[in-house]
Structure 1
Amino acid sequence: MPSRSSTAPGLGQWLLIAALIILADQFTKILVIGAFQLGDVRPVTGFFNLVRAHNYGAAFSFLHGASGWQRWFFLGLGLVAAVFIIWMLRRHGHQKMFAWALTLILGGALGNVIDRAIHGYVVDFIQVYAGRWYFPAFNIADSAITIGAILLILDELRRVRRT
């Protein structure tokens, strides 16, 4: 295992960043819940709307129409993933890109877990579109997870290229 430099972020710093992601995610969702009714749409630009949507499923509304068991499944999956990610951050927090990826995924996953625990669904409010094509609504947590996943891929490509 590579030695850890004294300037490398420790677990506490990564958890603080994840907590900031969670706070930003939950704060924006509270604003949306307070200002929008379910289904409301407010155009912002010619390709971006603010909306209020409830996602009972996972990414792209996967299992949205299931009978309710998916709430507990995705809540449990998110918590198990969080424990695993924290374990990985403890071991690999010195690997900056990898740790950033894990931290973004952790913050996003826990932001959505909080929604599932409180509401039984995830609050989505960002809608991007082009003409008649609409990307499924998403939120800050989903954005963090997506950026984290991209960083994981880039980190692995960099690692493979070095060998």
Structure 2
Amino acid sequence: MATRSLSRPAGNGPSMWLWLGIALAVVLLDQFAKVLIVRGFAIGENRTVTSFFDVVRLENTGMAWSLLANAGGWQRWFFIVLALAASGFMIYLLARNRAQKLFSFALAMVMGGAVGNVLDRITRGAVVDFISLHWHSAYTFPAFNLADSAITLGAICIVVDELRRVRKG
């Protein structure tokens, strides 16, 4: 029984190392940005960049839009385990589907974002958010970070990939 190497692509696709490298780049960029924010801002400090964009340091113990932020602490470990399990599953999917470039890119972005936020939960007990978008004072989108942006981009790419697949079929 032959085993597949991570360094050799299945079929005509790129090496799995490319996709893992993209995920690692997301993690490193996210963590670098968060180090700058943690060193340069007190929690809650806000600096206006444009009329619709502020940099602010917030820490979120919950998930998106601070859901479960006040759940008592169990959520920290739940989200760590969930993200690590999901990342393991994404590695499995990458090993099986790395020839599908858009899908593999999407998985790399989601995995990189998930690991970036897991590192925050492990080291700080909360995710550091710092991007604040708003429209005057009428609407403010919940603060987020580069890891969240990567996860969102990956999710959009998964939807686009699936729509393209369905159209072909």
TM-score relative to the length of structure 2: 0.92
**1:19 is the counterpart of 2:24:** yes
Alignment partner, residue 98 of structure 1: 103
3-state SS of 2:57 partner = strand
- For 1:13-68, what per-residue CA distance to the aligned partner results, in whole angstroms no more than 9, with x for missing partners? 11111101100000000000000000000000000000000010001111011100
- For 1:59-117, what per-residue CA distance to the aligned partner results, in whole angstroms no more than 9, with x for missing partners? 11110111000000000000000100000000001100100100000000000000001
- Alignment gaps of 5+ in structure 2: 1-9
Q: In structure 2, which of residues 124, 141, 146 is the aligned counterpart of residue 140 of structure 1?
A: 146
State the number of aligned residues.
Answer: 159
Please give the root-mean-square deviation of Cα atoms over the aligned residues, in Å: 0.8
- Alignment gaps of 5+ in structure 1: none
Alignment partner, residue 3 of structure 2: none
**1:58 is the counterpart of 2:67:** no
Within 5 Å, give how 1:1-163 maps onto structure 2.
4-5=11-12, 8-132=13-137, 133-163=139-169
3-state SS of 1:110 partner = helix
Q: Which runs of 4+ in 1 moved over 6 A?
A: none
TM-score relative to the length of structure 1: 0.96
- For 1:108-162, what per-residue CA distance to the aligned partner results, in whole angstroms no more than 9, with x for missing partners? 0000000001011000000000022110000000000000000000000111111
